Amino acid sequence: MNTHAAMPNLTGPGGGPYLRNAWYVAGWADELVADEPQAKVFLEEPVALFRDADGVAKAIGGRCPHRFAPLGRGRMADGILTCPYHGLGFDGSGTCVLNPHQGEAPPKVSVAAYPLVERYRLLWIWMGDAAKADPATIPDFAWLDDPRWEAVRGSVVAEGHFELYVDNILDLSHANFVHPALVANSFTLGERKFWQDGEKVFSRYTRPDDYLSEGISAMVGTTGRKQDFIGEVVWHAPGNLYFDFRVADPGTPYDQMTLLPSIHAFTPETAGTTHYLWATARDFALGDAEFSAIMRGALEFAFEHEDAPLIRDAHRLMKGQDFWDLRPLVLSGDGGGIRARRQLRRMIAAEQGRVLEDN
Amino acid sequence: MNTHAAMPNLTGPGGGPYLRNAWYVAGWADELVADEPQAKVFLEEPVALFRDADGVAKAIGGRCPHRFAPLGRGRMADGILTCPYHGLGFDGSGTCVLNPHQGEAPPKVSVAAYPLVERYRLLWIWMGDAAKADPATIPDFAWLDDPRWEAVRGSVVAEGHFELYVDNILDLSHANFVHPALVANSFTLGERKFWQDGEKVFSRYTRPDDYLSEGISAMVGTTGRKQDFIGEVVWHAPGNLYFDFRVADPGTPYDQMTLLPSIHAFTPETAGTTHYLWATARDFALGDAEFSAIMRGALEFAFEHEDAPLIRDAHRLMKGQDFWDLRPLVLSGDGGGIRARRQLRRMIAAEQGRVLEDN
Amino acid sequence: MNTHAAMPNLTGPGGGPYLRNAWYVAGWADELVADEPQAKVFLEEPVALFRDADGVAKAIGGRCPHRFAPLGRGRMADGILTCPYHGLGFDGSGTCVLNPHQGEAPPKVSVAAYPLVERYRLLWIWMGDAAKADPATIPDFAWLDDPRWEAVRGSVVAEGHFELYVDNILDLSHANFVHPALVANSFTLGERKFWQDGEKVFSRYTRPDDYLSEGISAMVGTTGRKQDFIGEVVWHAPGNLYFDFRVADPGTPYDQMTLLPSIHAFTPETAGTTHYLWATARDFALGDAEFSAIMRGALEFAFEHEDAPLIRDAHRLMKGQDFWDLRPLVLSGDGGGIRARRQLRRMIAAEQGRVLEDN
C-alpha cells in the first residue's frame, strides 16, 4: 500500500456540475489486472476498480463506509474486494458480503455500483443513474480492438479542468504553435468546418496539396512530397474525442488515404485535474517496435509535455473563475469547442431538470 | 536556520476544538538538547521548546510578539531563548528578559508559558490552563524509563487528523489487513472486549492456543509453537495510548507471559497533521543491537509506512468533513474508538462549559 | 515550454491592496533577451515581458484573452509577441495585431500595456494608471550602471508577503542575529536614527571606532583594525530600498569612506510570494572574479538562505492575518519599517480615494 500514490485532495470548491449520465473512460482495460484493484477518483468521487472471480471488471464506490479507507487499495479474496483497513468485503454490486471479524454477518451496507463496460480495450464508467446506462451509447472506437490496427498509447493525470483539454482537441489550430516539431500549416491555413449533429460536435480541417510537417511526413513515408490532408475531430459528450487524421498523395480518394485514428479521452478527476488517456493507431509497419517507440515518444511529448503544461498554466491563470465569466475572445477556430461547451451545459441542465435562459 | 524544515501552513479551517487541559506528548526528552531549541506546532499553536540554564525543559509560545519569527529557531544565551530574528530573549516563564538593542530595557511583554514535564523519557506539555496542570495525571509509562526494559522507538509527523490515529490503535483488528507481515488471526478472530473506566477506554484482545504470525513468533522465540495471546490497549485522553502485548506457551499465568509494552502518542500538529511518537520495549535480548535494529525496522515500517499512508488517504477521502456527519458504519471492533471519541467530545464540551444534548 | 516553471497558483485571498501607481522592479534588464519573452506575475497579475523589434523592453498583460494562456511563454515574430497556444500576436501596446488563422484580421482586442522603463540595468514596471507613470520618479540607482562600480547580484522568488521583506531591510538590527558570519555589533549597539522626508523613509546606523565582523573586515581589507561605520537605508515606496554601507579608518571624512552600495527590490508576486532582487557593488578589486564569487556567495547565502527562510516562517506564523491586527510589539529598531508601512498605507488609501481615520 505504501508504494501507492496518495489520494488527491478533494477539499475546496468543486469543478462541476458534471454530466453524470454519460460514459467516461476509466482507464485501459488491460491495466486492470486480476488481484490488483485500483483506487481512482472520477468527478471528485473515489472509485474502486477491480476484476471479479470471472475476470469481469467492476467499479464500486471507493470509500469504505466504515472508516473511509480507499477500497481500491484493498486486496482481492475470491473475487471479493476487501478493504485495506479492516477487511470488509464488497462484491461487484457494491454490497458488503464479507465481514472477517468474529464470524459476524456482513453489515447491511453497500457502496455505489457504477456500470462499467469493457469495450475497445477501454473501461467505460457511468457515474450517474445506472438504470439509464446503455452500453449501446458508448462511442465507437472499434479500431482500438482491431488487429489490423496497431496503436501506441498513454495515460496520465494532468493538471487543469477537463473542458480545457476537450477544447484543445476540438481546436487543432493550436498544433502549429504548441507542437512545432509535429505539424505544419495545415491546421492554421487549411479550410475549417465546425458543426453539430445531434449531441456530437465535429471539427474538420482540410488542406489539399501542401507539405506536411517533417515529423508527420517521415511517419507516413511521404517526405518531400505534397499531400492532401483531412483531419476530423468528433466530440462525444462529455470528454471522449475521436481524431481521424488522413493524408495521401493529392487526389487520392478519401477512403484510400492513409488513416491515423486517435482517441483523446478526458475524465475529470478533481476540479483541477484530469485523467488524460490517448492512443493513435496505424495500419502499416505493424509489429515494428522501433517505429512504435518513435511514434509513441513523439505523441507522448506532444500531449503530456507540450499540451498539458500549457493547459495547466491557462487553468491557473483562470484563477478558479468560470470560463464564460471570463468572457473569452472567440476566434474562428473555436467553433468546435464552443459548440461542445454549450451542448454539455445543456445536457447538464436537462439532467438536473433546470431550464437555461440563454445558451 | 536554513537547514530547518519550514513551519507548517496554518491557514484554512482548523481541526479542533481540541481538549486543552490535558497532557500531550511533546517529544522525546533526550532529543531536546541543551543549546538546541526546537520549533514545533501543537494544536495549531507554535511552541518553542528549550532547556534552561539548569537543563530543565521549557515550553513557551513559539511566535515572537515583535515580528512573529519562530522563537524555537533561536539560540540559547545563558539559559535564555533568544529570537532568531532580532534577539529578544525569553525565559522559561515566557517573559521577555533580554533586549539586546541599545542597552534598552526588555519590553514588558511575554508569550505563553506551557507547563512542561519531563517524565518517562518524554516531554509532556499542557496546552490549557496552567493552574490545572497536575503532573500526577500524566499516564504511567514508567517502563520507558526502567533499565529492565529496552525500547525501540520513533517519531514522525504524519498526515491525517489525530483522532484517526487514535482510532487505529484502539481497533487492532486492522492489523491483519494493514500489517500482513506482522500479525496473524489473533486480532480478527480472538475475543474482543471494550470498556470504559473513568476517563480511560480499554480494548482487549484474547486468543488462546493459536499460532502467532511468523514475525512475532521469531521475535519472541516461539516459532512453530501455538501460544496464548492477550493484547490490551488503554487510551488516556486525548491521544496517549498504552498497548500491553503478551504471549506465552498455553496456560502460562498472565503475569508470567512475555510482555512487549508499547506507547503510541498522538498530538495534533495542524488540522491535517499529527505528531506520532511510538516505542515498543522488551525485557529480553537486552543490548542486542541487531535484534533492536530488526525490531525497530519492522515497527517503523508498520506504523510509518503501512498505517500512516492509509490513514492519510482516509483523511483525504473524508474531504474535511466531520467524522460523525459522515455517519460511519459501526463494526464490532469499534467499541474502543467510539468510546474514546465520545469521551473526548464530552471532555471538550465540559471544558468549554457546553452541554451536549446527545452523546 | 515544458521546461518552464509552472505559473503560480492565484486563488485564495489576495495580499493586497497594492499601491498601483508606483514603480516596481520587474527584473534585470539583461536577463530579458531578444526572442525570449518572460512570463511573470506581479501584484497577482500575469505579465508578459519581451523586447520588441527595436530591442525595447515591453510589458503587457500576461493572459491571452482568447484561452487564457500565458503570453509570456510565447514566441517572438518580427517584434510581435505571439501566444504560445494559438498564435495571436500582440505588440508592445498590448494590441492584438496578428491573427495567423485563415488570413483573418486580428480581433479588435487588447491586453493591458504596462509602462516599462529600462534604467540602471533594471526593468521598472508601472502597474497602475499609465498616464501617471513618470520615469523621473524612478529612484536613483545610477551606480548599477556606472563602470566605476562592479556589482554582484541575484534574484529569487521568496515566500512571504513583500512588506515583511521591506521591514527586514529597514531594520538592520536583525543582522547580528540572522547573519552571524557577516556582521558584528554595529547594527545592534550603534546609534540609530529613523526619519521620513516626503515619501521616503530612512534608517541610519552609526558606529564609530569599533571592530567590524571578520567577514566584512576581510572584504574591505581592514582585518584587525577598528573602523568607523555608517549604514543608511532609504526606502522608496512601495518596495525599493537603497542601502549605503560605509566603513573607514576612524575619523575619515564621510565622502572618503569605503562605500558598498546595495539595492534590495521587492515586488509582490502573489499574496504569499515576493520577487526579491538584490545587488551590492564595490569600487575596488574591479575585475577580480574570485573576489566577486566570494562576495556574491556570502550575500546570496545571507539574503536567500538566512533572511528568506526566516521571513517565510514568520509569514506562515501570521496565518494570513493582517500585520496590524496581530498587534506587533514595537522595538526601537522599528522606526523605519513602521514609517514605511504607514506611508504605504496612506499612499494606497489616497490612490483609492479613501480617508484613513487613524494612521
* Mean pLDDT of chain C, nearest integer: 94
How far is C62 from C41, CA to CA, in rounded Å? Answer: 8
Comparing C1 with B103, which gets the higher pLDDT? B103
Cβ A90 vs Cβ A111: under 8 Å: yes
In this predicted structure, what is the pLDDT of residue C219?
84
Indicate whether C284 belongs to any domain: yes
In this predicted structure, what is the pLDDT of residue C164?
98
Residues C173 and C102 in one domain: no
In this predicted structure, what is the pLDDT of residue B2?
41
Determine whether the interchain pair B73/C310 forms a contact, defined as Cβ–Cβ distance below 8 Å: yes
> Which residues in chain C have Cβ-Cβ distances shorter than 8 Å to A192?
102
> Which residues in chain C have Cβ-Cβ distances shorter than 8 Å to B66?
328-331
Q: Up-side HSE of residue B353: CA atoms within 13 Å toward CB?
A: 0
Range B317-344 average pLDDT: 96
Question: Which chain A residue's Cα is nearest to C40?
Answer: A317
Comparing C217 with C260, which gets the higher pLDDT? C260
pLDDT band at C2 (very low <50, low <70, confident <90, very high): very low
Closest-CA distance, C202 to chain A, in angstroms, reads: 38
> Which residues in chain C have Cβ-Cβ distances shorter than 8 Å to A321?
none
Tell me what percent of the residues of chain A surpass a pLDDT of 90: 86
Indicate whether B70 belongs to any domain: yes
CATH number of the domain where residue A342 is located? 3.90.380.10
Range A145-160 average pLDDT: 97
Cβ–Cβ contact C66 with A under 8 A: yes
Comparing B271 with B358, which gets the higher pLDDT? B271
Residues A93 and A169 in one domain: no
Residue A230, φ and ψ in degrees, nearest 5 = -135, 120
Contacts of A209 (CB under 8 A, 6+ apart): A226, A227, A228, A250
In this predicted structure, what is the pLDDT of residue C218?
86
Residues A99 and A158 in one domain: no
Determine whether the interchain pair C87/A177 forms a contact, defined as Cβ–Cβ distance below 8 Å: yes
- Please say if the pLDDT value at position A158 is more than 80: yes
Give the one of A313, A319, A331 whose C-beta lies nearest to C69's C-beta. Answer: A313
> Which residues in chain A have Cβ-Cβ distances shorter than 8 Å to C46?
317
* Mean pLDDT of chain B, nearest integer: 94
Kindly report the length of chain B: 359
User: Which tens digit of pLDDT belongs to each residue from A224-243?
Assistant: 999 999 999 999 999 999 99
Domain boundary among C112, C137, C162: C137
How far is A317 from C8, CA to CA, in rounded Å? Answer: 8
Cβ–Cβ contact A8 with C under 8 A: no
Beta-bridge partners for C95: C110
Give helix C308-317 / helix C162-170 axis angle, nearest 10°.
120
How far is A123 from A112, CA to CA, in rounded Å? Answer: 17
User: Which tens digit of pLDDT belongs to each residue from A72-118?
Assistant: 999 999 999 999 999 999 999 999 999 999 889 999 999 999 999 99
Tell me what percent of the residues of chain B surpass a pLDDT of 70: 98
Domain boundary among C76, C105, C137: C137
> Which residues in chain A have Cβ-Cβ distances shorter than 8 Å to C83?
177
Residues A273 and A341 in one domain: yes
User: Which tens digit of pLDDT belongs to each residue from B101-148?
Assistant: 988 999 999 999 999 999 999 999 999 999 999 999 999 999 999 999
Cβ–Cβ contact B192 with A under 8 A: yes
Residues A109 and A161 in one domain: no
Indicate whether B11 belongs to any domain: no
Indicate whether B14 belongs to any domain: no
Mutation to test the A interface, candidates B177, B191, B332, most A Cβ within 10 Å: B177
Indicate whether B9 belongs to any domain: no
Name the strands in the sheet holding B45-51, side by side, starting at the edge strand that comes first in the sequence.
Answer: B38-42, B45-51, B57-61, B113-114
Determine whether the interchain pair B313/A107 forms a contact, defined as Cβ–Cβ distance below 8 Å: no
CATH number of the domain where residue C116 is located? 2.102.10.10
Cβ–Cβ contact B85 with C under 8 A: yes
DSSP string, B219-235: HHT-TTS-EEEEEEEEE
Cβ B356 vs Cβ B346: under 8 Å: yes
In this predicted structure, what is the pLDDT of residue B185?
76
Domain boundary among C105, C137, C169: C137
> Which residues in chain B have Cβ-Cβ distances shorter than 8 Å to C312?
6-7
Give the one of A69, A84, A86 whose C-beta lies nearest to B333's C-beta. Answer: A86
Give the one of C6, C66, C107 whose C-beta lies nearest to A316's C-beta. Answer: C6
Cβ B263 vs Cβ B241: under 8 Å: yes
pLDDT band at C1 (very low <50, low <70, confident <90, very high): very low
- Please say if the pLDDT value at position C184 is more than 90: no
- Please say if the pLDDT value at position C320 is more than 70: yes
Determine whether the interchain pair A329/C107 forms a contact, defined as Cβ–Cβ distance below 8 Å: yes
* Mean pLDDT of chain A, nearest integer: 94
Domain total of chain C: 2
User: Which tens digit of pLDDT belongs to each residue from B191-232?
Assistant: 999 999 999 999 999 999 999 888 888 888 889 999 999 999
In this predicted structure, what is the pLDDT of residue B3?
56
- Please say if the pLDDT value at position A266 is more than 80: yes
- C156 residue type, one letter: V
Range A311-316 average pLDDT: 97
Closest by Cα among C234, C233, C242, C230 to C186: C230
Indicate whether C33 belongs to any domain: yes
Determine whether the interchain pair C101/A333 forms a contact, defined as Cβ–Cβ distance below 8 Å: yes
- Please say if the pLDDT value at position C358 is more than 70: no
Cβ–Cβ contact C83 with A under 8 A: yes
- Please say if the pLDDT value at position B1 is more than 50: no
Residues B180 and B267 in one domain: yes
User: CA dihedral in degrees (C177, C182, C186, C188; nearest 10)?
Assistant: -10
> Which residues in chain C have Cβ-Cβ distances shorter than 8 Å to B85?
174, 177-178, 310, 314
Cβ–Cβ contact B110 with C under 8 A: no
C157: part of which helix (H) or strand (E)? strand C150-159
User: Which tens digit of pLDDT belongs to each residue from A182-240?
Assistant: 766 778 788 999 999 999 999 999 999 999 888 888 888 899 999 999 999 999 999 99
Indicate whether A11 belongs to any domain: no
Residues A325 and A344 in one domain: yes
> Which residues in chain C have Cβ-Cβ distances shorter than 8 Å to A164?
67
Residues A108 and A162 in one domain: no
Closest-CA distance, B62 to chain A, in angstroms, reads: 29
> Which residues in chain B have Cβ-Cβ distances shorter than 8 Å to A63?
317
Cβ–Cβ contact A320 with C under 8 A: yes
Range C245-256 average pLDDT: 96
Distance set, CA A278 to CA A116, A160, A240, A287 (Å): 19, 16, 10, 20
In this predicted structure, what is the pLDDT of residue B359?
54
How far is A57 from A116, CA to CA, in rounded Å? Answer: 7
> Which residues in chain A have Cβ-Cβ distances shorter than 8 Å to C103?
189
In this predicted structure, what is the pLDDT of residue C190?
86
Cβ–Cβ contact B204 with A under 8 A: no
Closest-CA distance, B4 to chain C, in angstroms, reads: 9
Mutation to test the C interface, candidates A177, A193, A204, most C Cβ within 10 Å: A177
In this predicted structure, what is the pLDDT of residue C4?
74
- Joined together, the cell numbers standing for residue B323 give 467524522
SS3 A67: coil
> Which residues in chain A have Cβ-Cβ distances shorter than 8 Å to C9?
316
User: Which tens digit of pLDDT belongs to each residue from B27-64?
Assistant: 999 999 999 999 999 999 999 999 999 999 999 999 99
The structure's pTM equals: 0.95
Residues B337 and B214 in one domain: yes
Cβ–Cβ contact C87 with A under 8 A: yes
pLDDT band at A358 (very low <50, low <70, confident <90, very high): low
- Joined together, the cell numbers standing for residue A256 give 484510400
Indicate whether A187 belongs to any domain: yes
In this predicted structure, what is the pLDDT of residue C5?
85
Cβ–Cβ contact B167 with A under 8 A: yes
In this predicted structure, what is the pLDDT of residue B270?
96
Range B58-85 average pLDDT: 97
Flag whether the ipTM exceeds 0.90: yes
Question: Which chain B residue's Cα is nearest to A74?
Answer: B177
Domain that holds residue A29: 23-137
Closest-CA distance, C129 to chain B, in angstroms, reads: 34
Give the one of C6, C66, C82 whose C-beta lies nearest to A313's C-beta. Answer: C6
- Please say if the pLDDT value at position B344 is more than 80: yes
- Please say if the pLDDT value at position B233 is more than 90: yes
Determine whether the interchain pair C100/A176 forms a contact, defined as Cβ–Cβ distance below 8 Å: yes
Cβ–Cβ contact B7 with C under 8 A: yes
* DSSP 8-state class, residue C272: T
User: CA dihedral in degrees (A166, A167, A173, A177; nearest 10)?
Assistant: -90
Residues B175 and B110 in one domain: no
pLDDT band at B350 (very low <50, low <70, confident <90, very high): very high
> Which residues in chain B have Cβ-Cβ distances shorter than 8 Å to C164?
67
Residues A95 and A221 in one domain: no
- Please say if the pLDDT value at position B65 is more than 50: yes
Range A141-161 average pLDDT: 97
Cβ–Cβ contact C171 with B under 8 A: yes
Cβ C188 vs Cβ B100: under 8 Å: yes
Contacts of B3 (CB under 8 A, 6+ apart): none
User: Which tens digit of pLDDT belongs to each residue from B135-191?
Assistant: 999 999 999 999 999 999 999 999 999 999 999 999 999 998 999 877 667 787 889
Closest-CA distance, B144 to chain A, in angstroms, reads: 29
Residues B156 and B211 in one domain: yes
Binning chain B into helix, strand and coil, the percentages to the nearest 5 are: 25, 35, 40
